[in-house]
Amino acid sequence: MKINHFASKDIKVSATFGVEAIMTELFVGFFAGFFAYIGYSSNLLLLFGLCLLVTLACVLSVGFALREHLQHKKYLQAKQAELDRHSETLE
């Protein structure tokens, strides 16, 4: 029996995040940080530890997404500058 599978065969490992994903990460990170603070102030180590881990994961995820965006922007600017230099030499 043959099954047609139309899923994408190649997935970019460094796929860029959308603005909505970054906002969601910040939202979840903010509330997890709030609950971590509540856990710390009420001496609930389990709540504090888990929420702190979620907060750190969200912050690192946002930082990684912003770093990837800036690197991609820098790459595009360098590529555009190279194309401009090449077009000037042809004239």
Looking at residue 90, its pLDDT comes to 64
DSSP assignments along 17-80, one per residue: PPHHHHHHHHHHHHHHHHHHHHHHHTT-HHHHHHHHHHHHHHHHHHHHHHHHHHHHHHHHHHHH
Residue 30, in any domain of the structure: yes
Residue 1, in any domain of the structure: no
Under 8 Å between Cβ of 56 and 36? no
Query: Is pTM, for the whole model, over 0.85?
Result: no
More confident residue, 53 or 16: 53
Looking at residue 20, its pLDDT comes to 82
Taking the chain, what is the end-to-end CA distance rounded to the nearest angstrom?
Answer: 60
Looking at residue 13, its pLDDT comes to 55
Residue 55, in any domain of the structure: yes
More confident residue, 61 or 90: 61
User: Could you give the number of structural domains in the chain?
Assistant: 1
Which pLDDT band, with edges at 50, 70 and 90, does 5 fall under?
low
Q: Tell me the percentage of the chain whose pLDDT exceeds 90.
A: 44
Q: State the residue range of the domain holding 42.
A: 20-90
